[in-house]
Amino acid sequence: MDANKEQALPEAAAQRREGMRLLARATLAELVDAWEAIADRLDVAPVRGPETGLVMVRGRIGGGGDAFNLGEATVSRATVRLASGEIGHGQMLGTDKERARFAAIFDALFQTEKHRPAVEALHRQIAARIDAEDRRRAEETAATRVDFFTMVRGDD
Amino acid sequence: MYVAVKGGEAAIANAHRLLADRRRGDRSLPSITIEQVVEQLGLAVDRVMAEASLYDRALAALAVRQARGDMIEAIFILRAYRTTLPRFGYSEPVDTANMKVERRVSATYKDLPGGQLLGPTFDYTHRLLDPSLIADETVPEPAVKEPGEHVMRVSDILDGEGLIEGDGRMPEGHVMGDLTREPMEFPMARDLRLQALARGDEGFLLALAYSTQRGYGRTHPFVGEVRIGEVEVELDLPELGFAVSLGVIRVTECQMVNQFKGSAKQPPQFTRGYGLVFGQSERKAMSMSLVDRALRTDEFSEDIVAPAQDQEFVISHADNVQATGFVEHLKLPHYVDFQAELDLVRCMRREYGAARTGGEDGMKEATE
């Protein structure tokens, strides 16, 4: 629960973490297309789930103080094992178990030397979409910024 | 003797069938989709998520549709649904300082880093009905501009000078409470109160907040800032040893700045109230922050003179699912209870009549 934990993460773990962040935002179409584009697909065995449950989302008093429980959110998660042995975890907001299962598969594939480039390409695709959406929204918000000007009264 | 009463199954089944019919309405009109509710009645969806205390836009939209637009019924349905799911864990606290801001206004500073960003607001509209919406006219795309600098938190500006109290700290050794796991107890710590307020009824909190402005527990508030936008939700995965992002949720945060307190040990500084709510709802976030500040009487040695300062009153009555359950249960059969009351009132009237007759007889005797 330490805010600075990520600083201590080794490079490989940090990359996997970033990949999981992106996979949590992937659309089902992005995941299915990427899966079907893989020529020699490995057998995938379920280890846990896919299942839907709740995560209690916490906030901080005053924005940066001690934590309090804000309310829950639905989360779907899955864990899978590839025929080659790698274990993958997928978890994301919402009730879409199929997306969670695919996210777990791609997390596992990310750990294989052979399929890693394909997963990295998927990561880049998702990142590009999110960045474009965020950029667009930021621009729309920026257009509503108030430009104050001062009305001068009197002669001098 | 207690006689159990059965029956009504056919009536109930037909009533529910009738409800389904009325919910569907005129069959010659297209049925409304969940996606339409999410996209076009988004703030209704947000309110249901906030007060059901469950963030899921699609499920909240389904609840709104199922409830025919009855908000408290929708909140009830979604709250009930959440009890069917297992709890995976607690997220890392969301970082509102790094919010992807879609609206931010401050009433305390005109020029501040990040600026006043109005966003998609009802403010400054004339509140006139718009007939163009009937005709479903084409809506122009939003204007765009190059985004500016990072949107700095107003409380950090004041904090730099020591003019305002810090973000809230609980006493040393305090264990964070969870209303969904432990029964309510009073006095209630601030973290639990904030959890209760975050899912409290918007109308109730609005009325209480308004009462403080009208003098019932005045706190002299200024909106330091209101911000709306997306924050990332992260969950620690023990099997990996690090926290991963689960995606983003939209929240509304209000930093209320209230008049100063000081003591022999501390120079005067502004005090604060805090509001954080699922979805886009600044009325609720502002009300929450006003009530949060009003309830902090013990920290500032304030006398409890108004309803909004009485935590047992406020927290016990803020939950609209509990409230509607107890109020609405009155319409369910109370035949036996009422029979007992009928017997009692008849008995009392007999006694009253007897006493009156007896009294009049006594009067007569005395005059004779």
For residue B188, the SS3 value is: coil
For residue B240, the SS3 value is: coil
Residues β-bridged to residue B261: B269
Q: Which chain B residue lies closest to A150 (C-alpha atoms)?
A: B110
Using alpha carbons, select from B85, B241, B72 the residue that is nearest to residue A74: B85
For residue A48, the SS3 value is: strand
With beta carbons less than 8 A apart as the criterion, state whether B282 and B228 touch.
yes
Of A92, A143, A146, the CB nearest to B144: A143
Residue A120 has pLDDT above 60, yes or no: yes
Residue A67 has pLDDT above 90, yes or no: yes
For residue B261, the SS3 value is: strand
Of A2-6, A149-153, B30-34, B133-137, minimum mean pLDDT range = A2-6
Q: Which two tokens stand for residue B265?
A: 């040990």
Phi then psi for B201, rounded to 5 degrees?
A: -65, 130
Using alpha carbons, select from B321, B299, B15, B272 the residue that is nearest to residue B156: B272
What is the pLDDT confidence band of residue B205, given thresholds at 50, 70 and 90? very high
Instruction: Decide if A126 touches B, using CB distance below 8 A.
Output: no
Residue B4 has pLDDT above 70, yes or no: no
Query: Taking the CA atoms of chain A, what radius of gyration do you get in angstroms?
Result: 21
Phi then psi for B210, rounded to 5 degrees?
A: -60, -40
- Chain B positions touching A94 (Cβ under 8 A) are 56, 58, 247
Q: Which chain B residue lies closest to A2 (C-alpha atoms)?
A: B92
Contacts made by residues A116-124, CB under 8 angstroms, sequence distance 24+ = A118/A34, A118/A37, A118/A38, A119/A19, A119/A34, A120/A19, A121/A34, A122/A23, A122/A26, A122/A30, A122/A31, A122/A34, A123/A18, A123/A19, A123/A22, A123/A23
Q: Do A71 and B53 touch (CB under 8 A)?
A: yes
Q: Which chain A residue lies closest to B89 (C-alpha atoms)?
A: A55
ipTM value > 0.95: no
Which positions 275-304 of B are in contact with A (Cβ < 8 Å)?
Answer: 276, 278
Q: What is the pLDDT of residues A31-65, one digit of tens each?
A: 999 999 988 888 899 999 999 999 999 999 999 99
Residues β-bridged to residue A69: A58
Report the pLDDT averaged over residues B80-103.
96
Q: Do B167 and A63 touch (CB under 8 A)?
A: yes
Q: Do A53 and B85 touch (CB under 8 A)?
A: yes
Residue A5 has pLDDT above 70, yes or no: no
Residue B366 has pLDDT above 80, yes or no: no
Q: Do A68 and B194 touch (CB under 8 A)?
A: yes
Q: Which two tokens stand for residue B291?
A: 């009530």
Q: Which chain B residue lies closest to A7 (C-alpha atoms)?
A: B242
Q: Do A141 and B236 touch (CB under 8 A)?
A: no
Query: Residue B363: what pLDDT?
Result: 55
With beta carbons less than 8 A apart as the criterion, state whether B223 and B254 touch.
yes
Dist. CA B105–CA A139, nearest whole Å: 17
- Chain A positions touching B148 (Cβ under 8 A) are 142, 145
Q: What is the pLDDT of residues B48-68, one digit of tens each?
A: 999 999 999 999 999 999 999
A50: closest CA of chain B, how far (Å): 13
Of A91, A134, A143, the CB nearest to B235: A91
Which positions 178-237 of B are in contact with A (Cβ < 8 Å)?
Answer: 178-180, 190-192, 194-195, 198-199, 232-233, 235-237
DSSP state of B241: T
Dist. CA A156–CA A154, nearest whole Å: 6
Q: What is the pLDDT of residues B115-130, one digit of tens each?
A: 999 999 999 999 999 8
Q: Which two tokens stand for residue B64?
A: 């709104």
Residue with tokens 């010659």: B28
Instruction: Report the run of H or E that residue B101 belongs to, with start and end.
Output: strand B100-105
Of residues B210 and B361, the one with the higher pLDDT is B210
Residue A156 has pLDDT above 80, yes or no: no
Query: Residue B266: what pLDDT?
Result: 80
Dist. CA B248–CA B226, nearest whole Å: 19
Of residues B310 and A149, the one with the higher pLDDT is B310
CB pairs under 8 A between A and B: 238
B166: closest CA of chain A, how far (Å): 8
Q: What is the pLDDT of residues B252-276, one digit of tens each?
A: 999 999 988 877 778 888 999 999 9
What is the pLDDT confidence band of residue B3, given thresholds at 50, 70 and 90? low
Residue B359 has pLDDT above 80, yes or no: no
Burial grade of A127 (CB within 10 A; 0-12, 13-18, 19 or more): middle
- Chain B positions touching A73 (Cβ under 8 A) are 54-56, 91, 233, 246, 249
Using alpha carbons, select from B57, B6, B14 the residue that is nearest to residue B35: B57
> What's the helix, strand, coil split of chain A in %, to 5?
45, 25, 30
- Chain A positions touching B144 (Cβ under 8 A) are 136, 139-140, 142-143
Which positions 27-86 of A are in contact with B (Cβ < 8 Å)?
Answer: 51-75, 77
Instruction: Report the run of H or E that residue B65 belongs to, with start and end.
Output: helix B57-66
Instruction: Decide if A132 touches B, using CB distance below 8 A.
Output: no
Instruction: Decide if A20 touches B, using CB distance below 8 A.
Output: yes
